[in-house]
Structure 1
Amino acid sequence: MTRIISDLSQISAAYDTLFCDLWGCLHNGVAPFRAAVAALQGFRARGGKVVLLTNAPRPAAFVTATLDRMGVPRDCWDLVVSSGDAAQDAMFAGAVGRRIWHLGPEKDLGFFNAIPAEWADAPAIERVPLDEAEGIVCTGPFDEQTEVPEDYRARFLLAKTRNLPMLCANPDIVVDMGDKRIYCAGALAALYEEMGGTALYFGKPHPPIYDLARRRLATIGAGDGGRILAVGDGINTDIAGAAGEGIDSLFVTSGLAAGQFGPDPDMPDADLLQRWLATRMQAPTFTIGALR
């Protein structure tokens, strides 16, 4: 049974590292949550490490730039590790070929153009039309503000007929940008699989992003992270991923599942919460209304 807490400081002494999600926990896609920023600053002040572990489909440098523009202070985190980083490694390794149809907005072009040093000598990746592609890299809809997965059914039928594998750079299904809910690459990949296509995933809850986070922790002298707590609002990504890695988790109820746990967003109703978790067969170690 999950333990409901009201403040991160109630449990933080038991952990060396936080794997903290971004959307719904640290910000809403528009502005940071000040209480969450303060909580992470407090954790670091006590000697802990904070890894912002995100399913953003862009490499960490682009995520960092977005956080800077949003006003998230750099003293609340140590590392940013993205699904884009892990998926980019797989793409340059040839997971879906070298001739790629990119399904995603222009803001994600850094996935192709910002080549990591370790892949500088790899054969080039060429972006081509769908009918010339060996594989698909999906970072989201072309227009995330207006499009839904069904808009791509005809193109996915062609891709499936040609047996094109899809690399999904963001397993999230939806995120909330301010007050608007938008579809992510994970929703498109789910439709492609439903139609009989093959999709490959590298973000939460899948192992590659956690392996990458631990490797990057080692580069800053933090070993493998020690005692890790995963913080997130995605029950099928953040919480399921933590369970798969054998690490403790803190479920934030005011994010994607907001409104499911009673009238007080700061204090989820225990009975509603337990019933909701049981239907999803997940058991986060702790639960909090909002990260603070």
Structure 2
Amino acid sequence: MPKRLDRLADLNADYDVIFCDVWGVLHNGVQAWPFAGEALGAFRRQGGSVVLITNSPRRRKGVGEQLDLIGVDPEAYDRIVTSGDVTRDLIKAGSKDVYFIGPDRDRPLLGGLGVNDAGLDEAGTVVCTGLFDDENEQPEEYISILEDFRKKDLPFICANPDLVVERGERLIPCAGSIAALYEKMGGRTLVSGKPHAPIYEAAVAAAKELRPDIANGRILAIGDGMPTDVKGAQDFGLDLLYVSDGIHARDYTDRAVVDEGKLEAFLERNGARPVRWMQRLR
């Protein structure tokens, strides 16, 4: 069982760069966690660099604007790398006739790529950024259209691999939950966001703009999601700080108190090997 960490500052001397998750660590979709931003800001003031690494299907400019609206301190980070940005390479390499699944606010992801908004009969690929209405829909409602995609053997590009995210006190389904259904049905999925390597390679490139000689051993990843943040960081060979008060908190937390025995069993069950853990980044 990794030891509990009281303050991020206790690890600052061991790392030059932090790759920090956004949703669940810096905010819950409704409000920012001010102590998290303060901790990252202090790391930067001591000479460190922070790259936010998020599975948001938006481009980095849109994520930055969203962080401003929610109230995340802009002094908390140097760069933003998004799943949306790295997914654009997959979209460019595919068919120009795209069947789009997601809310209208995510359509700027397709801007400048020369793609056409196609119906099922004309589509050569599917791009999914999320559910059309994630407040009221569930992934299972998409099974019928997924069956149609499967019959046509359409590749399914998933711009947000997260299965769920927190929005206030609720867990909201993401594009990854639809992609998981399609894959289970035998469909082809294409993903660049966490836990896959392309988003980490992009984060390293962003870090090297700030520190050209950075080594993986001097990078600390911070996150709360097992199938994305944890698996991605470990597969890429990065040290991990696990934030327990995120999407998995219900598995080992009762009335805001972490049961460390349950947490240890949860980490072991999921093959997670963080160097430390803390309930909330501070």
* TM-score (norm: length of structure 1): 0.92
Correspondence for 2:188: 198
Q: Given that residues 19 and 230 in structure 1 are in contact (C-alpha distance below 8 angstroms), is that contact kept between their aligned partners in structure 2?
A: yes
CA distance in 1, matches of 2:210, 2:266: 39
CA distance in 1, matches of 2:213, 2:117: 38
Question: In terms of mean alpha carbon deviation, does 4-13 or 224-233 score higher?
Answer: 224-233
Q: Alignment partner for residue 110 of structure 2, among 85, 89, 112?
A: 112
Correspondence for 2:207: 217
Correspondence for 1:164: 154
CA distance in 1, matches of 2:138, 2:261: 34
Q: Given that residues 231 and 250 in structure 1 are in contact (C-alpha distance below 8 angstroms), is that contact kept between their aligned partners in structure 2?
A: yes
State the 1:195 CA deviation. 1.0
Q: Any idea what the Cα deviations from partners look like across 1:148-186, whole Å, max 9, x if unmatched?
A: 111111101110000000011111000011122110000
State the 1:3 CA deviation. 2.1
CA distance in 1, matches of 2:208, 2:95: 31
State the 1:223 CA deviation. 4.1
- Please, which runs of 5 or more residues in structure 1 have no aligned partner? 116-121
Question: In terms of mean alpha carbon deviation, does 166-175 or 226-235 score higher?
Answer: 226-235
Q: Given that residues 214 and 223 in structure 1 are in contact (C-alpha distance below 8 angstroms), is that contact kept between their aligned partners in structure 2?
A: no
Identity of aligned residues (%): 40
Q: Does 1:142 align with 2:140?
A: no
Q: Given that residues 87 and 192 in structure 2 are in contact (C-alpha distance below 8 angstroms), is that contact kept between their aligned partners in structure 1?
A: yes
Correspondence for 1:97: 95
Correspondence for 2:233: 242
State the 1:225 CA deviation. 5.9
Correspondence for 1:229: 220
State the 1:84 CA deviation. 0.5
Q: Aligned with 1:51: secondary structure?
A: strand
| Cα RMSD (Å) | 1.5
CA distance in 1, matches of 2:6, 2:251: 18
Q: Given that residues 144 and 183 in structure 1 are in contact (C-alpha distance below 8 angstroms), is that contact kept between their aligned partners in structure 2?
A: yes
Correspondence for 1:118: none
Amino acid at match of 1:243: Q
Q: Does 1:259 align with 2:257?
A: no
The number of aligned residues is 281
Q: Does 1:78 align with 2:83?
A: no
CA distance in 1, matches of 2:75, 2:127: 33
Q: Alignment partner for residue 117 of structure 2, among 102, 123, 127?
A: 127
State the 1:5 CA deviation. 1.0
Q: Any idea what the Cα deviations from partners look like across 1:130-151, whole Å, max 9, x if unmatched?
A: 2210000110001111111111
Q: Any idea what the Cα deviations from partners look like across 1:41-84, whole Å, max 9, x if unmatched?
A: 11111111011100001111110111111121211100000011
Correspondence for 1:119: none
Q: Aligned with 2:267: secondary structure?
A: helix
CA distance in 1, matches of 2:63, 2:213: 24
Q: Any idea what the Cα deviations from partners look like across 1:2-32, whole Å, max 9, x if unmatched?
A: 2211111111210011110111100010111
Q: Does 1:36 align with 2:36?
A: yes
CA distance in 2, matches of 1:148, 1:83: 22
CA distance in 2, matches of 1:55, 1:242: 13
CA distance in 1, matches of 2:99, 2:211: 39
Q: Does 1:208 align with 2:209?
A: no
State the 1:221 CA deviation. 4.2
Q: Given that residues 215 and 224 in structure 1 are in contact (C-alpha distance below 8 angstroms), is that contact kept between their aligned partners in structure 2?
A: no
CA distance in 1, matches of 2:207, 2:242: 23
Q: Given that residues 90 and 190 in structure 2 are in contact (C-alpha distance below 8 angstroms), is that contact kept between their aligned partners in structure 1?
A: no
Correspondence for 2:273: 283
- Please, which runs of 5 or more residues in structure 2 have no aligned partner? none
CA distance in 2, matches of 1:188, 1:141: 8
CA distance in 1, matches of 2:255, 2:275: 21
